[in-house]
Structure 1
Amino acid sequence: MKAIHAIRTPGGLSLRVEVRAAIVVVLLAVVALAAAVVLIGSGDYPMAPADVIRTLLGSGTTAQEFIVNDLRLPRALVGLLVGAALGVGGAVFQSISRNPLGSPDVIGFGQGASVGALAVIVLFHGGATAVAGGAIVGGLATGVAVYMLAWKRGVHGYRLVLVGIGAAAMLTACNSYLLTKANLVDATRAVVWMTGSLDGRDWSQVWPLLIACVVLMPLVLAYGRNLRMLEMGDDAAYALGVRVERTRLVLMLAAVLLTAVATAAAGPIAFVALSAPQLARRLTRSPGANLLPSAFMGAALLVVADWIAQRAFGDRQLPVGVVTGVLGGCYLLWLLVSERKAGRI
């Protein structure tokens, strides 16, 4: 039996809180923040977690404040925000498609953002801001195209996934073609961007990402109840008063924007959007999209992966996208085997 508490607000609203899910959210938030503190303290000038916290509170030395606030804190914040955005985006698409493979990096949205960014790099030789804008436009255009191609008296799960996988294959081919058209400098820059990295991130990436998360995540959470009803099927959701297509369209648009903005900030980070919602659901053991647990799980996964990329291979630092790709690939294989044993694929 699950422990569920009912809370009545002064305005007369009644809220149901699942105790296990709430505990998981708190623990994941603590893990994500602790991992961020450890990440900030790592590097050529190592700092103890206590020194990092003291510096963040304004009591560090001048050197510590420069290293923490100007060099390392933006990287950690980008990691937390990108992980949270990808976790929520993945949770929305997996819930809408009712398929564990319904992840933005599997059904083409990450690849669409990559096409937009590579087009700016290769064809227009644009700067960092233009590349970020190209990634957002590419992700949005892909989302619209996949939605329209998957539409047939509504958008259903397996059709969305199949159309998305086809779109991902074509967009991957476009990325390869763009690389063949690039000169050596642009090709090197494009490959580095496509790997996915938090290297060199500063406050110019933090603020747009923070604004997008502050605007879009509450919107997604506001539709959380309707999203949970959608998992029961369109007919059941209609019977319960949910405006199905409007809800689906708003949530998909928000999830595509979150994925595109995250990709614009850090490049295509593989498998976080796929694995974070699944791991969060296994921890909470709750039905539904588990939006908040997915956000904190994504944040924790990406920050931990970045620490591994920096410290686990000696002096040789790896882009975080390499680590998430390896770990996520192993998770995907395990997921496919589990789904096959359960008879779902």
Structure 2
Amino acid sequence: MKKQTKNQLSTITVGYRKRQRRYVFTALTLLFLTFALACIMMIYGNTIYSPKTVLKVLSGEDVEGAVFTIRTLRLPRMLTAILCGLAFGMAGNTLQQLLGNPLASPDIIGVTSGASVAAVFGILVLKLNGGTVSLMAVFSGLLVSVLIYFLSQGGGFSNARLILTGIGMQAFLSAVISWMLLKASEYDVANALRWLSGSLNGVKLENIPRLALVVFGAGGAILLLNRQLSMLQLGEAHAVTLGVSVRRIRLTLILLALLLVAFATSVTGPVASVAFLSGPIATRLSGNGKNGMLTSALTGSTLVLASDLIGQFALPSRYPVGVVTGILGAPYLLFLLLQMNDKGEHV
């Protein structure tokens, strides 16, 4: 009996270590891909610079003809792609794991629409731009997120009620955005549509410190709560037995995820499907044994960097990053809905 128990424990240990190795390998591979794509973004463009020239410019040297392109255009674009990818990837995976539903993505349950409606209002009605529009998007995104959460509280918290409330809110806000676009002048509509498409064009270096502070602050807090999130996935009864303050941890994780989405969206606009795709892709790569928070974040960065390069240089015309990620996300959404229908699952 003791020998049988020892063999079972040995099998469990071997399996655990195998999953650990796979997870570490996946994380390191995604980190390498992110670094490689970031380097390509800095080197490649209408003018191709050598790595040596890029390093000289980044170290502060004044290389004629390269300083503006590298420091003002490519560096903010690359850093924003990485940070927003981290934010969208981690936020999407947090909500999907917490609510136990692959449809619980910020761009499906109305969070990004909350930021978008304020930005479009600022551009079309108030004739604002730049930092003021971003600030409005942040506050509106957070306000709509809180509203969705409290509207879904009737009779106690329910994952399905939160998702359905979010989908309804997204439909309403999308209708409001469409109405504003129809009423606006043609010139203003072009500016609003550029923002709504989700784009890295025009991002500035001064936006980076604030975005980085939120991404690493909120993202770090989510990683610290990762163990409690894993316990919540076992069910409320088990989580309470293990000493988790369910309501407090759930609310904290939701607010942290929404904070990431609101700030990222305020800088780039709603980059479609990154939050939706990152978690499932990371899970497929690293296995089902972990909730893959770190790998989801790195997958988000890889998706944004790769999609921007594809949109800029691999297609006949140049497209914003949100168009490419939206194209990637649409087939997966259809596949997911068909899969859920075959299994008889509900939202």
State the TM-score, normalized to the length of structure 1. Answer: 0.91
Match of 1:167 in 2: 169
| Post-superposition offset of 1:164 | 0.8
Distance 2:61 2:210 in 1: 28
| Post-superposition offset of 1:74 | 0.7
| Post-superposition offset of 1:153 | 4.9
- The equivalences for 1:64-79 within 5 A come to 64-79=66-81
| Post-superposition offset of 1:202 | 1.6
Match of 2:307 in 1: 305
- The equivalences for 1:32-51 within 5 A come to 32-48=34-50
The answer on 1:332 being equivalent to 2:333 is yes
Distance 1:234 1:322 in 2: 39
Distance 2:55 2:20 in 1: 32
Match of 1:81 in 2: 83
User: Residue 100 of structure 1: which of 102, 113, 116 is its match?
Assistant: 102
Sequence identity, in percent? Answer: 36
User: Residue 230 of structure 2: which of 228, 231, 242 is its match?
Assistant: 228
Distance 1:83 1:93 in 2: 16
Distance 1:62 1:212 in 2: 35
2:21 maps to a residue whose letter is V
Bigger drift between 19-28 and 104-113 goes to: 19-28
- The equivalences for 1:266-277 within 5 A come to 266-277=268-279
C-alpha distance 104-318 of structure 1, shift in aligned 2 (>3 A): same
1:143 maps to a residue whose letter is S
Contact 2:19–2:289 (Cα < 8 Å) also in 1: no
- The equivalences for 1:146-161 within 5 A come to 146-161=148-163
Contact 1:38–1:49 (Cα < 8 Å) also in 2: no
* Secondary structure in structure 1 of the residue aligned to 2:201: coil
Match of 2:5 in 1: none
- The equivalences for 1:234-313 within 5 A come to 234-313=236-315
Contact 1:85–1:262 (Cα < 8 Å) also in 2: yes
| Post-superposition offset of 1:60 | 8.4
Distance 1:93 1:140 in 2: 15
Contact 2:115–2:262 (Cα < 8 Å) also in 1: yes
Distance 2:203 2:63 in 1: 23
Distance 2:117 2:198 in 1: 14
Match of 2:192 in 1: 190
1:323 maps to a residue whose letter is V
Bigger drift between 329-338 and 133-142 goes to: 329-338
1:332 maps to a residue whose letter is L
* Secondary structure in structure 2 of the residue aligned to 1:124: coil
| Post-superposition offset of 1:288 | 4.5
Match of 2:92 in 1: 90
The answer on 1:130 being equivalent to 2:132 is yes
* Gap runs ≥5 in structure 2: 1-11
Match of 1:145 in 2: 147
Contact 1:279–1:297 (Cα < 8 Å) also in 2: yes
Bigger drift between 266-275 and 63-72 goes to: 63-72
| Post-superposition offset of 1:42 | 2.1
| Post-superposition offset of 1:222 | 0.9
* Gap runs ≥5 in structure 1: 6-15
Deviations 1:50-108 (A, max 9, x none): 65456545678443344222220110110111111000110111012100010000000
| Post-superposition offset of 1:185 | 2.7
| Post-superposition offset of 1:154 | 3.8
2:69 maps to a residue whose letter is I
* Secondary structure in structure 2 of the residue aligned to 1:63: coil
Deviations 1:270-300 (A, max 9, x none): 0000000110011111345311101000000
* CA RMSD, Structure 1 to Structure 2 (Å): 2.1
| Post-superposition offset of 1:115 | 0.7
Distance 2:310 2:144 in 1: 32
C-alpha distance 24-324 of structure 1, shift in aligned 2 (>3 A): same
Distance 1:139 1:57 in 2: 37
Match of 2:321 in 1: 320
Bigger drift between 251-260 and 205-214 goes to: 205-214
Contact 2:115–2:140 (Cα < 8 Å) also in 1: yes
- Which structure has the bigger radius of gyration? 2
2:111 maps to a residue whose letter is F
Distance 1:72 1:310 in 2: 12
1:244 maps to a residue whose letter is V
- Number of residues of Structure 1 aligned to a counterpart in Structure 2: 334
1:324 maps to a residue whose letter is T
1:222 maps to a residue whose letter is L
Deviations 1:124-164 (A, max 9, x none): 21221111011111111111111001114542221111111
1:165 maps to a residue whose letter is I
Contact 2:56–2:63 (Cα < 8 Å) also in 1: no
